[in-house]
Amino acid sequence: MASSVLKSSCHRTTQQESSSRFTYTTNGDMFRKTHDELDFEFLGNIRGKAWRFQTNMYGNGSTNRGREERYYLWFDPSKEFHRYSILWTTKNIIFYIDDVPIREMVRNDEMGADFPSKPMGLYATIWDASDWATSGGKYRANYKYAPFVAEFTDLILHGCATDPLEEVVATGCAERNDQLASADFATITPKQKLAMKKFRSRYVYYSYCYDTVRYPVPPPECVVDPVMRQQFKETGRPKFERRHRKFKQRGQVMSARNYGDQNNE
């Protein structure tokens, strides 16, 4: 379990920018052609528009089979700190924002080595994603507004520390994995399931599972929701783009911790 509290900010005076912030786990430095990776990626921002971000997963160097999902945020991540967490066990992967699970991937035997299985480290980067991150490269990073800043605090790692060069798994890792899989945060509660369903129905604006142009046959881990399927085009994007406003409470941007208490629009 990797969890960090992040305030992501590029100078707010910018009209448009496309430098992206990434928090991710990977082992690309050790396994250059067979690396695993789990990503939280902020996709730049145009001032006054909803923030967008992406989650992704690679296993065993399967970069030609991206498993991207893209979302709108219901808050401004540059205003306050929020907790971004990745749960990775031998059975599933869950992405969280604060207490809200936004995506779960359950391991499927048909995935084979595409499911991450090798030791990974935690990284954070800021890099120029002008070619694709903001409206497909429509807006370019403006270095006039550098430096670009991301602030982190309260980093927490749960799991088994190991040397990726060692062929034998470190002693005690099996026990640590069992402890992790049985922890409270490893199970999505009924309340969290409701919050995740609400989030996904409102804020997902691309899902590879519904992109039949890219994947005529959905990858094996995809659980296709027939209700959500009706909301997406064959390109994996919504049939009808929604307008997203900032949720406010007492004049402040609503935090993710209050997400489950929002009234229906």
Neighbours of 27 (CB within 10 A): 17
Query: b/e map of 239-252 (b: 16 or more CB within 10 Å)?
Result: eeeeebeebeeeee
17, 41, 69, 221: the catalytic one is 41
17, 37, 69, 221: the catalytic one is 37
The question of whether 175 is a catalytic residue gets the answer no
The question of whether 151 is a catalytic residue gets the answer no
What are the two backbone dihedrals, phi and then psi, of residue 47, each rounded to the nearest 5 degrees? -55, 130
Which residues does the annotation mark as catalytic? 37, 41
